[in-house]
Structure 1
C-alpha cells in the first residue's frame, strides 16, 4: 500500500474512531451501571453518579491508547527515514561501505530503500574497480622502475667505457654520473601505495644542508646553462642553512625551477642566493603571468612539492624577471 493511501486510511480511522469510541464507552458504562450499581445507589441517575466521571476517565484513557497506536505508524516511518539517512551518510563518508538494507514494504519508502541498495551495489562495484586499477598502477610502476634502472646501468657502463677510451675523467662525465644517480634514486623514491597525487607520497625526512645541495645543483646545471649563454651564479650569504626535509624531493623542486628558467625565461642570468634562512632564485628574463589558468606542469610540481614538504614559497614575475622565494616551516627547521 502506498504511503498516501495508508495515511489517508489512518486519518479516516482516527476521525471515525473518536465518536465511535465515545459512544461505545458511554453505552458500556451505562449498561454496567444500570445492571450492577444503580440498585445499590437507590436508583440514582447515571449522569449524577460516580459512573459518569469514571466514563470520562475511561474515554480519555482510550483516546490516549489510540494516540499511541496511531503514533507507532508515524514512528515506524521516521525510523525508516533515519536509517536511510544514516546509511546515505555512511556511504558518502570515506569509510567502510554499509550493508544493504532489508526491504519490508512496497510503499514509497520501500522503493527508496531499493534505490539506496542499488547505490550501495554501484559504489561497491566502483570500489572494487578502483582497487583493481590501483593494483594495475602499482604493477606498472614496479615494471617501469625496473625498466628505467636497466638502461641507466647500461649508460653507466658506456660512460665508463668512454672514460677508458679517453684516458681522462672530464667534468662532463662527472655531471652525467650525477644525473644518472639522481634519476635512479628518484625512481626508487616514488610511493607505490598511492599514485593519484603527491599528497599521498611517503616521505622520509632528514637533515638537508641547503648550502651543499644548491652548490652541487649549480655545478650540475652550469654546463647546460653555459650552452645557452646564461650566467648561473651562486651566492651563499648565509653559510649554514639546514632543513629537516628530503634531499631528493628538494632537488626535484629546484630542478623544475632551473629547467623552467632554461627553457622559457630567455634570461641572461640566474642567481641563487641563501640569506637569512631564505632561498632566493632570481632570473632577469621576460617573466610570465603567474595568474593565468594554463600554468605549466613545472609550476604545478613546484607548488605540490612545496606543500608536501611544508615549505612556504612566493613567486613574483614581471617583465624584469622572475623571483622564487622559499622558506621552511617551523616543522622543517
Structure 2
C-alpha cells in the first residue's frame, strides 16, 4: 500500500474511531449498569450514577490507547527515515561502507530504501575496484623499483672497484655516482599509468582463502549485475579452500569472467560454486565459440593469468550457457 493511501486510511480511521469508541463504551456501560447496578442504586438514572464518570474514564483511556496505536505507525516511518539519514551520512563519510538495508514494504519508503541500497552497492563496487587497482599498482611498482635498484647497486659496486684504477677520473666517477643516486630517487617518485600486461611481472604467492576472495568479488559485482537484471548467486559449499597464489591477480582473473558474462553472455543468472576444491562459474547465456579467433581479449587474459598462476581450467560453452571450472595443483608451484 502506498504511503499516501496508508495515511489517508489512518487519518480516516482516527476520525471515525473516536466517536465510535464513545458510542460503544456508553452503550456497553449503560447495559452493564442497567442489568447489574441500577436496582442496587434505587433506580438512579445512568447519567446521574457513578457509572457515568466511570464511562468517561474508560473513554479517556481508550482514546489514549488509540493515540498510542496510531503513533506507532508514525514512529515506524520516522525510524525508517532516521535509519536512512544515518546510512546516507555514513556512506558520505570516510567510515566503513554501511550494509544493505532490509526492504519490508513496497510503498514509497520501500522504493527509497531500494534506491539507497543501489547507491550502497554502486559505492561498494567503486571502492573495491579502486582498492584492487591501487593494490595492483603498488605491487608492480615495488617490483619495478626492485628491478631498477638491483642493477644500480651492481653498477655502484663496479664503480667502487674502478676508483683504485682511475684516480685521475675521480670527478667523472663522482658524477656517475650522483646520476645513479638520481635514478634511484626517481624510481620512488614515478607513477605507473597503465598496467595491462602480466608477462614480465613478478608474482608473490601467499595463502589465499578462495571463499573470502569471492565474498569480496560478489559484493563488488552485485551492483552492476543488479542494474542489468542478472541474478548473481554464490554457493560456497567449501568455505576453507586455500590456494597458494596471489590475491590481486586471482581477482583480475575472475573479474574477466564476471565482465564477459555481464557484457556478452545475455544471461539472466550467474552462479559461483566452490566445492571439492573446484571453483565453478556458470551462466545461462547464449554461449560462444571458444575456438573462434574473435573470442576476445578477456579469454586471452584468463588463459595467460591461469598459466602464470599455475591454475588449470576447463571451459564449456554452448547455446545453454558457459561454464568455467578452475583447480589449483599445489604440487606444481
Task: State the TM-score, normalizing by the size of structure 1.
Answer: 0.52
SS at match of 2:168: coil
Which consecutive unaligned segments of at least 5 residues does structure 2 have?
193-333
CA shift for structure 1 position 189: 8.8
For residues 75-98 of structure 1, the C-alpha deviation after alignment (integer angstroms, 9 at most, x for no partner) is: 111111111122222222212222
Q: Structure 2 CA distance, aligned partners of 1:166 and 1:147?
A: 29
| Residue aligning to 2:58 | 58
Q: Hey, what does 1:44 align to over in structure 2?
A: 44
Note the C-alpha offset of 1:149: 2.1
Give distance in 1, aligned partners of 2:126 and 2:28.
65
SS of equivalent to 1:181: helix
The answer for the alignment partner of 1:89 in structure 2 is 89
Find the counterpart in structure 1 of residue 17 from structure 2.
Answer: 17
Given the alignment of the two structures, is residue 130 of structure 1 paired with residue 133 of structure 2, yes or no? no
Counterpart CA distance in 2 for 1:85 and 1:38 is 59
* Shift in Å, 1:50: 0.7
**In 1, Cα distance between equivalents of 2:189 and 2:148:** 13
Distance 2:62 2:154 in 1: 94
**Larger Cα-atom Rg:** 1
Secondary structure of 1:168's counterpart equals helix
Aligned residues: 192
- For residues 60 and 68 of structure 2, the distance between their equivalents in structure 1, rounded to whole angstroms, comes to 12
Instruction: State yes or no: 1:27 paired with 2:50.
Output: no
* Cα separation, 2, equivalents of 1:10 and 1:28: 25
The alignment's TM-score, normalised by the length of structure 2, stands at 0.52
RMSD (CA atoms): 2.9
Question: How far apart are the structure 1 equivalents of 2:185 and 2:34?
Answer: 104
Deviation of the 1:21 alpha carbon: 0.9
Is 1:174 the equivalent of 2:170?
no
Q: Secondary structure in 2 aligned to 1:104?
A: coil
**1: distance between equivalents of 2:49 and 2:91?**
64
Deviation (angstroms), 1:119: 1.3
Taking the aligned partners of 2:103 and 2:12, their CA distance within structure 1 comes to 27
Q: CA deviation at 1:140?
A: 2.4
Shift of 1:101: 1.1
Counterparts of residues 87-236 of structure 1 (less than 5 Å):
87-150=87-150, 152-153=152-153, 156=156, 168-184=168-184, 187=187
Task: Give the Å deviation of 1:7.
Answer: 0.2
Deviation per residue, 1:141-196 (Å, 9 max, x gap): 1232134225535754786798788662332321321331354366469999xxxx
Q: CA deviation at 1:16?
A: 0.7
1:263-297: CA deviations, max 9, x gaps? xxxxxxxxxxxxxxxxxxxxxxxxxxxxxxxxxxx
**Helix, strand or coil for the counterpart of 1:169?**
helix
- Alpha-carbon deviations, 1:50-84, whole Å to 9, x = none? 11111111111110010001001001111111111
Aligned to 1:69: 69
Please give the alpha-carbon distance, in whole angstroms, between the structure 2 residues aligned to 1:151 and 1:29: 102
